[in-house]
């Protein structure tokens, strides 16, 4: 089996050459960019809003132990069963046991990236349960037996024609390029699934400690049906989703909508606090909340990168990332793609196996600039690179970086080195080599920039009287 790094290289190289897919991604994102800029303008002060959102999430993360307990107590008081899962095995085990106890046959899900993270669908299907994704994009990728392409837009890489072909093949419909007709086809197929499902599984966008409620934001109404129609509702969420107060949502919900989809606010925003009470007609008879750690506390212990737990999974950093836009979502081979995925996956799945994702960055900083909760993404990529070399770098890497640090920290040595580089200019011809050359794996997709004839220091000296 190829390593994650070599699989990434293979898949990324293939997507880069797939002009159709790249055009589809660019087209989807250009609409997003336009909508986002016009709606960010509706915030009185977008920068202050980012600062406030970051502060709210920091407050929650720094007192996670207290806020999670408060959240749990409120839920338990309303009859909700809360399960703390250390890892994906425990989370899957709890949900599988529950499904068996309930003698469930059919399970309907609304979009939850945490369930992708713990590979819940595979486990449920292996155990013989019928599982259906109810979010349109997730429904499409499930029919194709593919993981989501993007945190927010799971099927953004597909054309209407491809979706029409898929529906024709799997659902027996007539070909059409009309998006409304395609949506109605999925809707019709899904309605029956809601009615026959024994269990509904959702994620949560936020978990409000003050009131013990989960907040779900969506555009299709499928999450509401998933919560309300089956007799049992299971909520699966990462522990970092907690926020202190209900009032915090007045900022976080519009911010998530603007950064995530370019909307002012999403169509449906639900707050769910428990199963149906005696005087209510609708809702599930039972509600379970699974709080997942899965290495999040390890990230919490890392003072340098703890801020990545602020992430509200809006996907904005993917949308602006030149690497994501060209290699696409599937090449990453992870649940969370793009810059945030490259930062947190080494923490969730092992630094040495996943540090290559931190190399897949131009370090342009567009991700950090766009992140609504001000996560210092591009610096975290650098830290992952540094940590990987410190932990298990080759002798060549260690000596190379030591020598580099020695030179750049001494202005005199640096001056000599830059002057000496001019004499090495002819070597560029060697580095821009042929397939027979040993440096070809590096140079086949890169060219060394030309050395400047005069350095910045020389130019500066000339300007200074
Ligand atoms: S890191 Fe920031 S921009 Fe990226 S998904 Fe998370 S909140 Fe959104």
Q: How confident is the model at residue 47 (pLDDT cuts 50, 70, 90)?
A: very high
For position 449, what pLDDT does the model report? 67
Please state the separation of Cα 293 from the chain's center in Å.
Answer: 16
Residue of 57, 373, 374, 379 best suited for mutating to test ligand 1, as the one with most atoms within 8 Å of CB? 373
The atom number, within ligand 1, closest to the CA of 312 reads 7
Residue of 314, 334, 366, 376 best suited for mutating to test ligand 1, as the one with most atoms within 8 Å of CB? 314
The 3-class SS string of 284-297 reads CCEEEEEEECCCHH
The atom number, within ligand 1, closest to the CA of 308 reads 1
Give me the percent of the chain exceeding a pLDDT of 90: 78
- Average confidence (pLDDT) over 340-365: 95
Mean pLDDT of the chain: 92
Structure-derived torsion over alpha carbons of residues 438, 442, 446, 449, reported in degrees to the nearest 10: -80
Burial of 408 (C-beta count, 10 Å sphere; 0-12/13-18/19+): exposed
- Average confidence (pLDDT) over 306-326: 96
pTM, rounded to two decimals = 0.90
From its phi and psi, is residue 237 left (phi > 0), alpha (psi between -120 and 50) or beta?
beta
For position 455, what pLDDT does the model report? 78
Range in 38-47, 359-368, 418-427, 429-438 with the lowest mean pLDDT: 429-438
Question: Does the pLDDT of residue 434 top 80, yes or no?
Answer: no
Q: The tokens 């049906």 sit on which residue?
A: 225
Question: Does the pLDDT of residue 435 top 80, yes or no?
Answer: no
Residues 397 and 358: beta-carbon distance below 8 Å = no
Ligand 1: lining residues by beta carbon, under 6 Å: 259, 311-317, 340, 370-373, 375, 377
56 CA to middle of ligand 1, Å?
Answer: 15
Q: What is the pLDDT of residues 140-159, one digit of tens each?
A: 999 999 999 999 999 999 99
Burial of 290 (C-beta count, 10 Å sphere; 0-12/13-18/19+): buried
Question: Does the pLDDT of residue 325 top 90, yes or no?
Answer: yes
Closest CA to ligand 1's atom 2: 371
Question: Does the pLDDT of residue 428 top 70, yes or no?
Answer: no
The atom number, within ligand 1, closest to the CA of 313 reads 5
Select the more confidently predicted residue: 332 or 415: 332
222 CA to middle of ligand 1, Å?
Answer: 24
146 CA to middle of ligand 1, Å?
Answer: 23
Range in 260-269, 297-306, 341-350, 428-437 with the lowest mean pLDDT: 428-437
The atom number, within ligand 1, closest to the CA of 367 reads 3
Question: Does the pLDDT of residue 33 top 90, yes or no?
Answer: no
């Amino acid at each position: 089996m190829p390593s994650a790094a070599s699989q990434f290289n293979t898949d990324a190289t293939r997507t880069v050459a797939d002009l159709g897919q790249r055009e589809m991604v660019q087209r989807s994102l250009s609409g997003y960019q336009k909508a986002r800029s016009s709606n960010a303008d509706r915030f009185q002060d977008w920068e202050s809003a980012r600062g406030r959102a970051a502060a709210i999430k920091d407050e929650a993360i720094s007192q996670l132990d207290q806020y999670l307990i408060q959240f749990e107590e409120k839920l338990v008081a309303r009859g909700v069963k809360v399960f703390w899962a250390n890892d994906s095995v425990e989370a899957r085990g709890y949900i599988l046991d529950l499904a068996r106890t309930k003698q469930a046959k059919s399970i309907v899900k609304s979009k939850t990236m945490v369930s992708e993270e713990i590979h819940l669908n595979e486990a449920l299907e292996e155990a013989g349960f019928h599982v259906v994704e109810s979010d349109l994009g997730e429904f499409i990728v499930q029919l194709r037996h593919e993981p989501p392409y993007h945190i927010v837009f799971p099927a953004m890489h597909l054309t209407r024609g491809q979706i029409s072909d898929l529906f024709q093949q799997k659902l027996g419909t007539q070909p059409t390029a009309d998006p409304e007709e395609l949506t109605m086809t999925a809707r019709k197929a899904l309605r029956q699934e809601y009615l026959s499902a024994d269990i509904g599984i959702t994620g949560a966008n936020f978990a409000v400690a003050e009131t013990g409620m989960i907040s779900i934001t969506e555009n299709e109404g499928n999450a509401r049906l998933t919560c309300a129609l089956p007799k049992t509702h299971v909520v699966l969420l990462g522990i970092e989703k907690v926020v202190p107060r209900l009032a915090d949502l007045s900022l976080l919900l519009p911010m998530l909508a603007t950064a995530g989809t370019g909307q002012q606010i999403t169509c449906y925003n639900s707050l769910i606090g428990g199963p149906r009470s005696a005087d209510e007609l609708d809702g599930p008879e039972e509600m379970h909340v699974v709080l997942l750690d899965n290495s999040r506390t390890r990230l919490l212990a890392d003072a340098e990168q703890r801020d990545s737990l602020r992430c509200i999974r809006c996907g904005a950093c993917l949308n602006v990332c030149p690497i994501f836009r060209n290699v696409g979502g599937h090449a990453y081979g992870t649940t969370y793609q793009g810059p945030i995925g490259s930062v947190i996956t080494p923490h969730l799945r092992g630094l040495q196996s996943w540090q290559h994702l931190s190399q897949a960055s131009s370090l342009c900083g567009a991700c950090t600039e766009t992140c609504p909760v001000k996560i210092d993404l591009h610096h975290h990529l650098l830290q992952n690179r540094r940590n990987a070399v410190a932990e298990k770098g080759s002798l060549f890497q260690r000596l190379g970086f030591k020598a580099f640090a020695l030179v750049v920290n001494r202005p005199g040595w640096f001056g000599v080195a830059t002057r000496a580089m001019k004499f090495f200019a002819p070597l560029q011809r060697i580095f821009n080599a042929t397939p027979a050359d040993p440096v070809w794996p590096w140079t086949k997709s890169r060219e060394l920039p030309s050395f400047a004839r005069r350095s910045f220091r020389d130019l500066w000296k000339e300007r200074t009287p």
